Amino acid sequence: MSISTAIETMVSNIDASSASYLDACVHCGQCAEACHFYESTGDVRYAPVYKIDLMRRAYKRHKDPLAPLKKLFGLVPPELTEDDLNEWTDLIYDSCTLCGRCTIVCPMGIDIAGLVRKTREGFVAAGIVPEGLTGAAGRALETGSPLGIKPVTFRKIVAEQEEETGIPIELDKVGADYMVILSAMEILNFYEVIGALARIFKKAGVSWTMSTTAYEATNVGIQMGDKAIAKTLVSRVVEAAEELGVKYVVSPECGHAYSALNWEGPNLVGRNYKFEVIHILELLDRLCADGRIKTKGKDSRRLTFHDPCQIVRRGGIVQEPRNLMSKVSSNFVEMSPTGTANICCGGGGGVSSNPNAEGLRIRAFGSKKRQLDQVKPDAMVTACGNCRNVLEEAIDEYGMEMPVLGLTELLAEYLDD
């Protein structure tokens, strides 16, 4: 472990906006009430503002404008130690999904999730990262997938969906309008989405393809706080898309993938793309609005929609899933709170990849369960493969009987053929 490297990384991450955030906190406690980890446990250690304390201490000691003067009088926090990093590991990685709900309620507008991300970079520099994430990162670099899904396996899955739907799916097609990328969880557990996309795109007359060198959007580097890994994984998608000459890259039903590619990607690779990034929900909503997709019939079950944090709260895609739900559901009910204020599934930000966090993650689902108990849906719909997997596991742990459905597959089910 290199504590000095960790401190140096944290300090270098403190730009003007971060400094203003660290100075602005008035310790009102609003963020704690917004955090599902705190709400479900009542443990003050899980208050979001406490999670950024290491960053605050590094700032106050090394970069605060008055730090040199304060040092003379012993008024700066003590230097961070290895014990501090070890103590905070569960707070930084196990009990924060980077969902950003604390940010939207903060009266000072502090981006707490962003500061946790910057803190994680210090932990990466010190070599303190949960094995679940480092293992996933290693597999992603080696095979292209954090779950170890190799291109030969991906081709077989696509071939099975071709056979099931009877629709050809062209891989590595040069000059297609859209290149679709998927989350690791979609390829492994919810591969029916490939067939659903084939049916929808055939009906809409969409020219599309998938790359056999960059078929996954999952970016473990973003989750763990490793910019080098994040850049490598984003670059693979960018290079594949530009080699195929597509106009759009379609970000999948995956939370952090959209922000990783759309918002952070250009900064990571150091230039603008030669294509546009569009989320699958944006594309499906646009195709419906243009009359290229028409539906017939609706699901009569009492359905509710779980808003994936990175797509809705931090990505701004709020109305599109509701437009789509109106096409396929005759009995849609909103949870409360909903939209940008909705409660996290509990497994984002790499938490679901971290076995150490499993017990806390299941416990934190209590906040989501209270939402569900209020509206009593027959099934829940979402637009994130990771959310779907995490929710299914938690629902099973709590002994509930509630299917979790993917929105893309649900739309395909009600296509007007």
Strands 178-180, 276-279: pairing kind: unpaired
Q: Supply the CATH classification number for the domain 3-128.
A: 1.10.1060
CA distances 137 to 22, 221, 228, 285, 374, Å, are 30, 7, 11, 33, 38
Name which of 52, 93, 61, 66 is nearest 80 in CA terms. Answer: 61
Q: Where in the chain is the domain with CATH 3.40.50.1860?
A: 132-289
> Confidence band (pLDDT; 50, 70, 90) for 314?
confident
Q: Where in the chain is the domain with CATH 1.10.1060?
A: 3-128
pLDDT, residue 30, reads 93
> Confidence band (pLDDT; 50, 70, 90) for 254?
confident
pLDDT, residue 417, reads 74
Q: Options 3.40.50, 3.40.1550, 1.25.40, 2.60.120; which CATH number does 303-413 get?
A: 3.40.50
Backbone angles phi, psi at 163, to 5 degrees: -65, -40
- pTM for the whole structure: 0.93
296-301 mean pLDDT = 96
- Three-class secondary structure assignment of 187-224: HHCCCHHHHHHHHHHHHHCCCEEECCCCCECCCHHHHH
pLDDT, residue 1, reads 59
Strands 248-251, 276-279: pairing kind: parallel
Backbone angles phi, psi at 404, to 5 degrees: -115, 120
Tell me what the pLDDT averaged over the chain comes to: 94
Name which of 53, 63, 57 is nearest 79 in CA terms. Answer: 57
CA angle 34, 37, 43 (to 5 degrees): 100
DSSP state at residue 291: T
Residue 154: burial class (beta carbons within 10 Å; 0-12, 13-18, 19+): buried
Helix (H) or strand (E) holding 289: helix 280-289
User: Each residue of 42-58: pLDDT tens digit?
Assistant: 999 999 999 999 999 99
Q: Which residues of 186-218 are buried (b: 16+ CB within 10 A; e: fewer)?
A: bbbebbbbbbbbbbbbbbbebebbbbeebbbbb
pLDDT, residue 73, reads 86
* Residue in the structure block whose two tokens are 């990771």: 386
Give the distance from CA 195 to its chain's centroid.
23
DSSP-based helix, strand, coil % in the chain, nearest 5: 60, 10, 35
Dihedral sign from CA coordinates of 355, 279, 102, 225: positive
- 3-state SS, residue 256: helix
Residue 340: burial class (beta carbons within 10 Å; 0-12, 13-18, 19+): middle
Residue 255 has pLDDT above 90, yes or no: no
User: Each residue of 85-127: pLDDT tens digit?
Assistant: 999 999 999 999 999 999 999 999 999 999 999 999 999 999 9
User: Each residue of 54-96: pLDDT tens digit?
Assistant: 999 999 999 999 998 999 888 999 999 999 999 999 999 999 9
pLDDT, residue 256, reads 82
Is the pLDDT higher at 263 or at 232?
A: 232
So what CATH class is 132-289?
A: alpha beta
User: Each residue of 173-203: pLDDT tens digit?
Assistant: 999 999 999 998 999 899 999 999 999 999 9
